[in-house]
Copies of this chain bind each other. A is one copy, B any other.
Amino acid sequence: MNLKLLLAEDDDDLRQTLVEALEMEGFDVYACVDAEEAIEAAENDRFDLALLDMIMPGATGIEAISNIVRSQPNIGIVISTAFGTVATAVDAMKKGAHEFISKPFDLESLVMTLKRVHAQRTTPPSLAGEKADKVFAALANPIRRQTLLKLMVHKRLRFMDLCRLVEVDNHTRFNFHIRQLKQASLVEQSESKVYFLTTEGKKLCASLFSEQN
């Protein structure tokens, strides 16, 4: 199964060379002469990876990132550049790029970089597993979400403190809900009975917050 690569490179010779070489390496390459063409392609087709030249006439590779990521949030993006600065690198990463590669580059490095970026981006979907069932069922309830929120802020809390923070006046009601969070492995207790988020709980909560950006 070939990886689909969206290539944007204004230098004709280099673009042709890359197409031929990368297709020999097993990529399905869709080549664009500029960023605008790449943006349009990303809206109409699905790609695993994008290799964008930073400096192109018209919109730059960096300017194209946001648009491409908007169309395809899971695409892996590599920026190629001869003149990289820290500021442009940071800007590109913030927009969604995953890796930089400096011109001139050898083909072997490029292929390895592309495959590594793809491997890192490809995540096995576990949305249907039994574990995911418990986690998502736990998240469906507002009391439980509030509980996670309070634990994010305060890190360690005792049962009744937490119950009062969440504003549930019936402790057995709260007990039922925090048991669901424990069974979903989002929350656990120390020996002294203090509640805190598990590592998985922290990651999930951070993701749900940062998702609001």
- A interface residues, Cβ below 8 angstroms from B: 46, 70, 73-74, 81, 84-87, 89-90, 93-94, 98-100, 102, 120-121, 123-128, 132-133, 136-137, 139-142, 145-146, 148-149, 152-153, 155, 199, 202-213
Contacts and interface: CB of A to CB of B under 8 A. Distances in A.
Grouping DSSP codes into helix (H, G, I), strand (E, B) and loop, the A interface class, with mixed when no group exceeds half, is helix
Contacts of A73: 202-203, 205-206, 210
Contact of A85 (B86, B142, B202): B86
Given A100-B90, A140-B136, A145 B123 contact: no
Number of copies: 2
B152 A74 contact: yes
Nearest to A207: B211
